[in-house]
């Protein structure tokens, strides 16, 4: 089993929802967590609990992504884990989507994953070790009405990660895609914690436990893909 103590882990989209739960659980396992998001106040509150680092950054901006990796290396001298979790979505009939909204979804979900991986991979290659985890979605593997923009972005993010997995495996770098079903978060301007969602949704902590399972696999094991759903959601 891989021990997470003192492992240096970047988690994007850590100000709330799934990313926050991942950051808290990794910190609890002894990892040094770098929490990344745009909301400075939420990050500051989280960092009080993780005792790690928080970096305010927009994952869709190349300079921000590069600075996240550079500042991590400056502060800790190492990077072991990159969790690409930051993501946004909205749902509409295709003709009602603005190109601005299309760009927001693709820039965050696809370009954000690309930029963070692009900045991290040279470091992982140099140390012949590293683990990239992408929080994608079960809709990376199925389609549904009103999901043109979000679904297409998650298919694209998934293809990026699957291709990267083959590219970097010879360098000792693991790439894992995690595909959640419905999770009770702030996603798409929802408010978590309702009695209804308790019956129909996974909790952010369920995804964090999946991340922990994947990261704790022995060095010779890579979990390529992991999908999880609430019992009430048919797949
Ligand atoms: O959503 P939410 P989730 N740069 O809204 C951050 C996937 N997923 O936890 O920047 C940097 O509670 C934002 O921070 P802030 C989903 O596609 C979800 O559910 O401060 N960070 C916040 O911390 C996504 O990939 C469900 O606004 C940016 C976080 O992202 C992942 O799970 C189902 C950013 C979003 O927190 C986490 O989403 C599924 C940017 N440009 C997949 N833009 C589900 N909830 O049902 C956003 O299959 N963030």
Ligand 1 atom closest to 16 (CA): 23
Which tokens belong to 22? 């991942």
9 closest CA partner among 28, 41, 31: 31
Phi, psi of 132 (to 5 degrees): -105, 130
86, 99 Cβ separation under 8 angstroms: no
What is the mean pLDDT of the segment spanning 39-55?
A: 97
Ligand 1 atom closest to 38 (CA): 10
Domain membership of residue 109 as a residue range: 8-228
Within-domain flag for 164: yes
Per DSSP, the three-state class of 56 is: strand
Burial of 175 (0-12, 13-18, 19+ CB in 10 A): buried
Ligand 1 centre to CA of 170 (Å) is: 31
Within-domain flag for 235: no
Within-domain flag for 234: no
| pLDDT score for 38 | 98
pLDDT exceeds 90 at position 52: yes
Q: Please name the residue whose Cα sits nearest to atom 5 of ligand 1.
A: 187
Ligand 1 centre to CA of 203 (Å) is: 14
| Ligand 1 probe mutation, 14, 19, 115, most atoms within 8 A of CB | 19
Ligand 1 centre to CA of 31 (Å) is: 22
Q: What is the pLDDT of residues 107-155, one digit of tens each?
A: 999 999 999 999 999 999 999 999 999 999 999 999 999 999 999 999 9
Ligand 1 centre to CA of 90 (Å) is: 12
Q: What is the pLDDT of residues 152-206, one digit of tens each?
A: 999 999 999 999 999 999 999 999 999 999 999 999 999 999 999 999 999 999 9
Ligand 1 atom closest to 179 (CA): 48
Which tokens belong to 74? 């400056």
Q: Cα separations (Å) of 109 from 75, 84, 115, 166?
A: 27, 9, 10, 20
Within-domain flag for 233: no
State the total domains in the chain: 1
What is the mean pLDDT of the segment spanning 2-12?
A: 98
CATH code at position 104: 3.40.50.720
Looking up tokens 């990267």 gives 164
Within-domain flag for 141: yes
Within-domain flag for 61: yes
Within-domain flag for 3: no
Largest Cα span, the chain: 50
Q: Where in the sequence numbering do the catalytic residues fall?
A: 150
Which tokens belong to 43? 């990050």
pLDDT exceeds 90 at position 235: no
Q: Which residues line ligand 1 (CB under 6 A)?
A: 12-19, 37-39, 42, 58-60, 85-89, 108, 112, 135, 137-139, 180, 182-183, 185-187
């Amino acid at each position: 089993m891989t021990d997470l103590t003192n492992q240096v882990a970047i988690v994007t989209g850590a100000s709330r929802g799934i990313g926050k739960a991942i950051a808290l659980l990794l910190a609890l396992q002894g990892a040094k967590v770098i929490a990344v998001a745009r909301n400075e106040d939420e990050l500051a509150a989280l960092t009080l609990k993780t005792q790690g680092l928080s970096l305010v950054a927009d994952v869709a901006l190349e300079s921000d992504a590069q600075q996240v990796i550079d500042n991590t290396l400056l502060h800790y001298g190492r990077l072991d884990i990159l969790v690409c979790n930051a993501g946004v979505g909205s749902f509409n009939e295709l003709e009602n989507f603005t190109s601005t909204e299309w760009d927001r979804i693709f820039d965050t979900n696809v370009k954000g994953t690309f930029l963070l991986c692009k900045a991290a991979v040279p470091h992982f290659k140099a140390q012949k070790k590293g683990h990239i985890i992408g929080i994608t979605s079960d809709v990376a593997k199925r389609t549904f009405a009103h999901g043109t923009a979000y679904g297409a972005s998650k298919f694209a993010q998934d293809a990026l990660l699957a291709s990267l997995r083959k590219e970097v495996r010879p360098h000792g770098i693991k790439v894992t895609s995690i595909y959640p079903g419905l999770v009770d978060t702030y996603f798409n301007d929802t408010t978590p914690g309702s009695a209804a969602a308790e019956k129909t949704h996974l909790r952010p902590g369920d995804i964090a436990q999946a991340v922990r399972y994947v990261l704790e696999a022995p060095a010779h094991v890579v979990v390529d893909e992991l999908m999880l759903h609430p019992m009430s959601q048919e797949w």
